[in-house]
Amino acid sequence: MNDPHQTKLTTGCIAAVLPAAGSGQRFGSDRNKLFAMLGGKPIWFHAASRLAARPEVGRIMMAISEGDEADFRGPFAELVNELGIELVRGGDQRSDSVRAGLDAIANDKSIEFIAIHDAARPLVCDADLAAVFAKVAETGAAILAAPVTATLKRQLDDGNASLTVDRSELYTALTPQVFRVDVLRCGYDRHRGRPATDDAQLVERTGYRVALVHGSADNIKITHPEDLRIAEAILAR
C-alpha cells in the first residue's frame, strides 16, 4: 500500500544540506581536508555541484566552521557563488552542523525535503541521487547504502574465540540521507545530544521507518589521505 504522504517531486522542492564544518583530523593536513584538490577542484565543490545538477534541488546550504569562513568567503567565493551555495555556521558536532542547515530553511514553504550529504563525499553519482530522491517521495525517509562486502567476525569472550556474522542484511550507510522536512525536524527536536552516528538514526528513534536505497560503493567519504588517491582513480575512470 502506498504511504498516505506520497508526494510528487517538484522542481526545487529539496534543500541540500552539506555538513562541512569538521576539521579533518584523520586526514592530517594543516587545513580542512575539504579544501584538498580532486581533479582541479576542492572536494566540497564536487559534492555540492553533483547535488546542484539535480532539478529537484532548490537550495544548497553548506555548514562551515568559523575558522574556514575566510576561505569560503575569500578565495573560494567564486566557486561558492557559482553553485548558489548559502553558507551557514556549523557546530562542534556534525549533528549541530546539520541542525544549522535545518534552521536556515525553517520558514521556506517551498522546501518539502532535506537531503543531507557529507561535503566529504565528492563522488555521489546522478543515478543514485535520482533513486534516493524517488524513494523519499514515496516513504518520507530514505538513505543511500551499500551492501557490506567484507567477511565480518564477532569477537567472543576475551578474543580467543570468534563467530562469522551473516552479512546478507548488512549495509554501510552512505549519504545523501533524505527526509521529509517534518520527519527530520521531529528527529532533531527529540535529539538531546545522545550520540548518533548519522541523521537516519535520529529519525529511527522517533519510530519513523527509514528506507535503504542501494547506492554505489564508489560514493566514498574522504577520511584518510589514501581515500583521495582512490577518489582520483574513480574520477579518472
Site residues, Mg ion (CB under 5 A): 22
Interaction of residue 169 with ligand CTP, rule CB under 6 A: no
Cα–chain-centroid distance for residue 65? 17
182 φ/ψ sector (left φ>0, alpha ψ -120 to 50, else beta): alpha
CA 176 to chain centre: 4
- Single out the residue of 172, 221, 230, 234 in contact with ligand CTP (rule: CB under 6 A): 221
Give the range of 17-25, 150-158, 161-169, 182-190 binding ligand CTP by CB under 6 A: 17-25
Considering the rule CB under 6 A, would residue 101 count as an interface residue with ligand CTP?
Answer: no
Helix (H, G, I), strand (E, B) or coil at 131: helix
Residue 60 binding ligand CTP, by CB under 6 A? no
Sign of the dihedral through C-alpha 210, 120, 63, 59? negative
Whole-number minimum distance, CB 22 to Mg ion, in Å? 5
CB of 51 to ligand CTP, least distance (A): 13
Q: Which does 167 bind (CB under 5 to 8 A by kind): Mg ion, ligand CTP, none?
A: none
HSE of 94, CA atoms in CB hemisphere, 13 A: 17
Determine phi and psi for 113, rounding to 5 degrees.
-135, 155
Show the cell assigned to 189. Answer: 527536536
Size of the site for ligand CTP (CB under 6 A): 22
Alpha carbon separation from 1 to 4, 52, 204, 209 (Å, rounded): 9, 32, 21, 15
Q: Looking at beta carbons only, is 165 or 173 nearer to ligand CTP?
A: 173
Our finding on whether 118 is near ligand CTP (CB under 6 A) is yes
Q: Applying CB under 6 A, which of residues 119, 123, 174, 210 lies at the interface with ligand CTP?
A: 119
Which residues of this protein are in contact with ligand CTP, per CB under 6 A?
A: 19-27, 34, 63, 90-94, 97, 118-120, 221, 223
